Structure 1
Amino acid sequence: MLDTSAENQRRHALHPDQPVWLFGYGSLIYKADFPFLARRPASIDGWARRFWQGSHDHRGTPDHPGRVVTLIRAPGDRCAGMAYQVTPDVFQHLDHREKNGYLRVTTSLTFADGQQQPGLVYLATADNAAFLGEASEEQIARHIAASHGPSGSNADYLLQLARALRNLCESDAHVFAIEASLLNTAMPARAAPAK
């Protein structure tokens, strides 16, 4: 397993009295287990959400990693999520939470009113040790259906993310296609979520 927490703490010189915007596009949309000063729906341009990152520590195990989202460069695309304004001390917790291959990088956030702010986002690139890479949405759904880790089932991660995106009135073809495959094929006994 690749632990990126120490590298993340070296990457940015954050002033202890200067709040920072953090962009969440996966479980950070719906699971804010950290204090924040403000929360606003936001998006970032040029990126797409993909279930291509392995999870050895939350939604899977070292022997059978689950699949969670990361971002890939996608010119012309827009990735919607939730932005949190946090104090720099919060990153000690977040760096541990996102330690399985994710690195903090700077980005520009766009809020619903068009206002833009600089911020940080965690992403896992193809060169990290936990990266699983591209697969069909049906294969990803089967993988997710069979995965479970200390933070719960991988299926719940997917279903909560899809629900959170709908609550934001946002669409994501990749996420929703995997959700449909999971509900219709990999987990036929589960009821489909309300629209």
Structure 2
Amino acid sequence: MSVEMQDDATDLWVFGYGSLMWRPGFPFVEQRHAHLHGYHRSLCVFSHVHRGSPEKPGLVLGLDRGGRCHGVAFRVAKEEAESTVHYLREREQVTSVYLERHLPLRLDDGHIVRALAYIVDRAHPQYAGRLSFDEIVRLVRNGKGISGINPDYVRSTHEHLVGMGVVDPLLQRVTQVMD
């Protein structure tokens, strides 16, 4: 296993931990199981556009500090990098709730790459922080936005993780009460 930093200046790596895993929306040449240290997947963002509205927010995932997060690393060809970043900014930064970062990501073969990732901005008004399970379920059940209903988002993310052999206990519990 290699632990040295892989620096491929020709391509862009993107880390998906939520809907990007199952609906990236951009062209890529490779997709790998990966994990990010220092952040964890959390239902910690009030959705005002994609899975809710300001009047009736849904709840979506953010990378919050602490822990480790399994997800998918996508390698984007150099010639597609600029348009991919533009697309991701349009998709992920609708309300500026995420901070764009290039973070070290460990691929399934042990190599480390710097990947574009979107982490939650804890100072943003849409940051929900830690909510009770009942409040999470209420928000997910009632959320509906331009990308669809919130339960579908949680269910699809959970199913994709299970397919990768990853268990996310919170998403598993939320999905069970939605079924």
Counterpart in the other structure of 2:6: none
Given that 1:49 and 1:69 are in contact with CA atoms closer than 8 Å, whether structure 2 keeps it comes out as yes
Work out the CA distance in 1 between the residues paired with 2:173 and 2:37: 21
Work out the CA distance in 1 between the residues paired with 2:10 and 2:46: 33
The one-character-per-residue Cα deviations of 1:124-176 (angstroms, maximum 9, x if unpaired) are 12111321222112320121001111110000000000000001111112222
Task: Please report how far the alpha carbon of residue 88 of structure 1 lies from its aligned counterpart in structure 2 after TM superposition.
Answer: 2.7
Task: Please report how far the alpha carbon of residue 120 of structure 1 lies from its aligned counterpart in structure 2 after TM superposition.
Answer: 1.4
Work out the CA distance in 1 between the residues paired with 2:30 and 2:104: 17
Correspondence for 1:163 among 159, 163, 167? 159
Partner SS for 1:123:
strand
Counterpart in the other structure of 2:136: 140
Correspondence for 2:13 among 21, 25, 37? 21
Given that 1:66 and 1:147 are in contact with CA atoms closer than 8 Å, whether structure 2 keeps it comes out as yes
Task: Please report how far the alpha carbon of residue 41 of structure 1 lies from its aligned counterpart in structure 2 after TM superposition.
Answer: 1.2
More strand by share: 2
Percent identity over the alignment is: 32
Work out the CA distance in 2 between the residues paired with 1:47 and 1:173: 16
Matched, 1:52 2:10: no
Matched, 1:80 2:75: no
Work out the CA distance in 1 between the residues paired with 2:176 and 2:38: 25
Between the two proteins, the alignment pairs up a number of residues equal to: 165
Work out the CA distance in 2 between the residues paired with 1:18 and 1:62: 40
Task: Please report how far the alpha carbon of residue 26 of structure 1 lies from its aligned counterpart in structure 2 after TM superposition.
Answer: 0.6
Task: Please report how far the alpha carbon of residue 177 of structure 1 lies from its aligned counterpart in structure 2 after TM superposition.
Answer: 2.2
Matched, 1:93 2:83: no
Given that 1:18 and 1:88 are in contact with CA atoms closer than 8 Å, whether structure 2 keeps it comes out as no
Counterpart in the other structure of 2:3: none
Q: Mind listing any 5+ residue stretches in structure 2 that lack a counterpart?
A: 1-8
Partner SS for 1:83:
strand
Given that 1:137 and 1:177 are in contact with CA atoms closer than 8 Å, whether structure 2 keeps it comes out as no
Work out the CA distance in 1 between the residues paired with 2:164 and 2:82: 26
Work out the CA distance in 2 between the residues paired with 1:110 and 1:88: 23
Matched, 1:42 2:34: yes
Between 1:122-131 and 1:149-158, the stretch displaced more is: 122-131
The one-character-per-residue Cα deviations of 1:51-82 (angstroms, maximum 9, x if unpaired) are 010111100112112100011212xx321001
TM-score of the two chains, using structure 2 as the length reference: 0.86
Q: Mind listing any 5+ residue stretches in structure 1 that lack a counterpart?
A: 1-16, 184-195
